[in-house]
Amino acid sequence: MRIDSFLKEEIKQVVKESKRNNSKEPKEEKNKQRSAEELAKQHKAISVAEFFEKNRHLLGFDNNRKALLTTVKEAVDNSLDACEEARILPEIYVELIDMGNNRFRVIVEDNGPGIVKQNIPFVFGKLLYGSKFHRLKQSRGQQGIGISAAVLYSQLTTGRATKVMSRTGKDKPAHLYELRINTLKNEPEILKEEIIEWEKEHGTRIELDLVGSYYRGAQSVDEYIKQTSIVNPHATFIYVTPDGEQRIYARVSETLPKEPKEIKPHPYGLEIGTLVKMLKLTKEKTILSFLKKEFSRVSDKVAKEILEKASVAPNEKPSQITREQAERIIDAISKTKILPPPLDCLSEIGEELIKKGLMKEVNAEFYEAVTRKPSVYKGYPFIIEAGIAYGGELPKDSPANVMRFANKIPLLYQAGSCAFTKTVIAMDWKKYGLNQPKGALPVGPLVILVHIASVWVPYTNEAKEAVANYPEIIKEVKLALQEVGRKLGKYLSKKRNVESEIKKRGYIEKYIPHISFAVKDILDLDESMKLELETKLKQILEHVRGKIEKVGFDKESNKEFDEEFKLKVHSHGIVDEIYLDEVDENESKG
C-alpha cells in the first residue's frame, strides 16, 4: 500500500510538470538547422566609414599618443601637397591646445590654394574621397582616407564637430563649415555653413577636438614636425606645443621642389586581373592602340612585338579579349624588353638640400648625402636617398638615430618591420669605423636618413608607418648607405690620422724649448735669439711634416643651426606671417 500511494504521488507530480511545460512555448532545439533564407536576413552591406569606425587601429588611431600624432600628420601632409601642387612655398601653422582630461584641440592652418566650396564637406567628411588614388604621380597622400579618418576619430572620441575654414583667393569669400561624418552612409553631415571674414588671402584651416596624449621625444608630434622640416627644406613650420612654447622651423631654400608629372602605368608588374579590368574600361578600338595609349614606354614596335609573342591579332577589340589571351599578353610582356618608366613623375629632395636639412636641425661635424639613380619595382619607379650626420652634439654612447621617410613623410612607428631599418642593421658598419653590436644598429654620434620617393610607396599597412621588404628597394637602400658610409669612413680615417699627427707633434714641440735653451747656453745667446730659435724650429717642424688640416667639431661653424631661434614662448593664437629676419622685433611687440 505504501508503494502504491508513493507511485500515485509521483505520477501526479509528473502530470503537473508536463502541463506546466506544455503551457510554455516549445524551446528551440540546440542543434536545429537553420535555412539559408534565415541566415540571409542577417546579411547587410557596411560602409567604409563603418568599417574604419570599428577598425581605426588600421589607420594609426590605436592609442591616444599615436592618435594625436596621426591627426597632425594627416593634416600637415595634406597642406604640403596642396601648397606644392599650387606652386606655393608652404607656411604651415600647427597648434595643440590641452583642454584637460586627455582632450586636445588640434589646429592646422596653411597658405595653400584653398578648397572650392562644394568640395570642402567631401574632402573632410567622406572616406576614400580624393584626387590621388587613380593617378601615378608622387604625392604624400594616396587613398583619400587620412584627414577624413581624423575627423571620424574626433567625433567618436569627443562627439564634437570639426571646423574647416577655406578661402581660394583674395577676391573670393572665406567659407566656414562645421561637419561630421554619417558613418552609415559615409557621407558628410553639415551642421553649420557660413561666409566669414578672414584676413588670409588663401589657405585652409582645420580645428578638431580629440582624445589623445602628448609626450615629448621619439614618436611624438615634436619629432614629426622636426623631421618633416628636415626633408621639406622649402617649407616654414610654426609649431605651438600644449605648453605654449612656439618653435619655428624656418625654410632654408626658396626654391620649390621639382613638380612631379602624372604618368601611365608601366607594363612590368601588370597582373591579370588589372589587365582584364582595363580591357573592359578602355575607349580604344583595337588591342594595339590599347597597349600604346594605356601604358607608358610602349611604342608601336613594342606593342606589335608583345601581340606577336602572345599570338593576338593587332586589330582585335579589347572588349573581346578572352582571359586566355590576356594571360598570353601578360606572359609576352615579361619576355619583351621595355624601357623603364619615365622619371618626371618623381620629385627627390636632392643631396644638397638633404645636407642643409640635417644641418638645420642637427649640430654635427660631418654631413653627407647621396641620391641614387631611379629604379623600378613592379612597374613603379622609385628613387632612394640617404644622408648621414656624425659627431658634434650627438650622443656618443647611444645607437644611431635612423630617420625613415617616404615621399617626404616621416615614418615614426613600426621601425622593426621596415625595410629601411632592417637594411641599416644588416650593414657592416665596422668597416666604416663605427662600433656595431651583432644584429643591432651601429653605436655612436650618428644620424642616418633614408628616403624613398615613388608614385606608389609599398607601405606595410594603411597607416603608412613602414616600407615593405621589396628586394629592389632593399638593394637600392643598401647601395645608398654604402656610398655615404664610405665617405664617413674616409672622414673618420682622416680624423684619426690628424689626431695621431697632433699627438706626435706634441711630443716634438714639448722638447723645442729645451733644445733652444741648450743652444742658448752653448752659443751664449740672448733671450730674444732664444725665442727666435724656437720660432724657427716650429716653422721647420711644420714645413717637414706639413700643415695640419682642421678636422673635428666646431660649434660655431654650422651657420644653418640656430637653437635660440627655434624656441620662442608664445601664447595660443594664430601667426599668419613670420618675418624671419625680424623675429626679435616681433617678439618685443608681443
* pLDDT band (50, 70, 90) for residue 169: very high
Given this model, what pLDDT does residue 581 score? 34
Domains for the chain: give ranges and CATH numbers: 63-256+579-585 (3.30.565.10), 267-334 (1.10.8.50), 351-491 (3.30.230.10), 510-546 (no CATH)
**Cα–Cα distance, 88 to 256 (Å, whole number):** 8
- Answer whether 0.85 is exceeded by the pTM: no
Asked if the model's pLDDT at residue 488 lies above 90, the reply is yes
Distances (CA, A) of 467 to 70, 460, 461: 17, 6, 9
Judging by beta carbons within 10 Å of its beta carbon (0-12, 13-18, 19+), is residue 63 exposed, middle or buried?
exposed
Q: Where are the alpha helices (DSSP H) in 100-200?
A: 120-125, 146-158
Given this model, what pLDDT does residue 571 score? 32
Residue scoring higher pLDDT (350 or 34): 350
Residue scoring higher pLDDT (483 or 10): 483
Asked if the model's pLDDT at residue 79 lies above 90, the reply is yes
Asked if the model's pLDDT at residue 33 lies above 50, the reply is yes
Q: Which of 6-20, 353-367, 473-487, 573-587 has the lowest mean pLDDT?
A: 573-587
Residue scoring higher pLDDT (443 or 534): 443
How many CB atoms sit inside 10 A of residue 546's CB? 9
Q: Which of 274-283, 375-384, 393-402, 553-562 has the lowest mean pLDDT?
A: 553-562
Given this model, what pLDDT does residue 582 score? 35
Asked if the model's pLDDT at residue 414 lies above 60, the reply is yes
Mean pLDDT of all residues in 59-79: 87
Given this model, what pLDDT does residue 116 score? 94
Asked if the model's pLDDT at residue 88 lies above 60, the reply is yes
Q: One-letter amino acid identity for 386?
A: A
Q: Output helix, strand, coil percentages for the chain, rounded to the nearest 5.
A: 40, 20, 40
Residue carrying C-alpha cell 507511485: 7
Given this model, what pLDDT does residue 61 score? 79
Q: Provide the Cα torsion 570, 573, 577, 581; round to 10°.
A: -10
Asked if the model's pLDDT at residue 533 lies above 80, the reply is no
Residue scoring higher pLDDT (556 or 430): 430
Instruction: Confirm if 173 and 167 have CB atoms less than 8 A apart.
Output: yes
Q: What is the pLDDT of residues 236-252, one digit of tens each?
A: 999 999 999 999 999 98
Residue carrying C-alpha cell 590621388: 132
Given this model, what pLDDT does residue 97 score? 96
Q: What is the pLDDT of residues 322-369, one digit of tens each?
A: 999 999 999 999 899 988 888 788 889 999 999 999 998 888 999 999
For residue 376, the SS3 value is: strand
Asked if the model's pLDDT at residue 1 lies above 80, the reply is no
CA 100 to centroid of chain Cα atoms:
29
Distances (CA, A) of 127 to 111, 139, 141, 246: 24, 18, 13, 33
Residue scoring higher pLDDT (44 or 212): 212
Asked if the model's pLDDT at residue 302 lies above 50, the reply is yes
Asked if the model's pLDDT at residue 138 lies above 50, the reply is yes
Asked if the model's pLDDT at residue 497 lies above 90, the reply is no
Mean pLDDT of all residues in 22-41: 64
* pLDDT band (50, 70, 90) for residue 109: very high
Given this model, what pLDDT does residue 530 score? 74
Which residues sit opposite 98 in a β-bridge? Answer: 104
Given this model, what pLDDT does residue 189 score? 92
Q: Which of 148-152, 255-259, 438-442 has the highest mean pLDDT?
A: 438-442
Given this model, what pLDDT does residue 586 score? 39
Q: Which of 97-111, 295-309, 536-550 has the lowest mean pLDDT?
A: 536-550
Given this model, what pLDDT does residue 11 score? 56
Judging by beta carbons within 10 Å of its beta carbon (0-12, 13-18, 19+), is residue 341 exposed, middle or buried?
buried
Mean pLDDT of all residues in 400-415: 91
